[in-house]
């Protein structure tokens, strides 16, 4: 049984998620638009879009 009050162990290490979120933030800041950014960057990095969207 899992503990629902604690953090879950994901597929990717926290450090990778943190580094992967940076290009998303930079793209949104540079263009002023967020539509499709998470999907585009996640494909480029080879990670799931949920990994970037949850951060």
Q: Determine, yes or no, domain membership for 46.
A: yes
Residue 12's alpha-carbon distances to 5, 17, 29, 30, 51, in angstroms, are: 20, 7, 25, 26, 8
pLDDT for the residue numbered 45: 85
Separation of alpha carbons 24 and 39, rounded Å = 9
Tell me the pLDDT tens digit for each residue of 22-31: 888 998 899 8
| Two structure tokens written together for 11 | 């597929």
- Cβ-contact 51, 12 below 8 angstroms: yes
Q: Determine, yes or no, domain membership for 47.
A: yes
pLDDT for the residue numbered 9: 57
Q: Determine, yes or no, domain membership for 35.
A: yes
pLDDT for the residue numbered 50: 82
Tell me the pLDDT tens digit for each residue of 1-55: 444 444 555 677 888 878 888 888 998 899 888 889 889 888 988 888 887 775 4
Total number of domains in the chain: 1
pLDDT for the residue numbered 1: 44
């Amino acid at each position: 049984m899992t503990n629902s009050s604690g953090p879950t162990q994901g597929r990717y290490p926290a450090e990778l998620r943190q580094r992967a979120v940076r290009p998303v933030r930079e793209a949104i800041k540079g263009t002023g638009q967020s539509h499709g950014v998470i999907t585009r960057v996640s494909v480029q990095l080879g990670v799931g879009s949920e990994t970037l969207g949850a951060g």
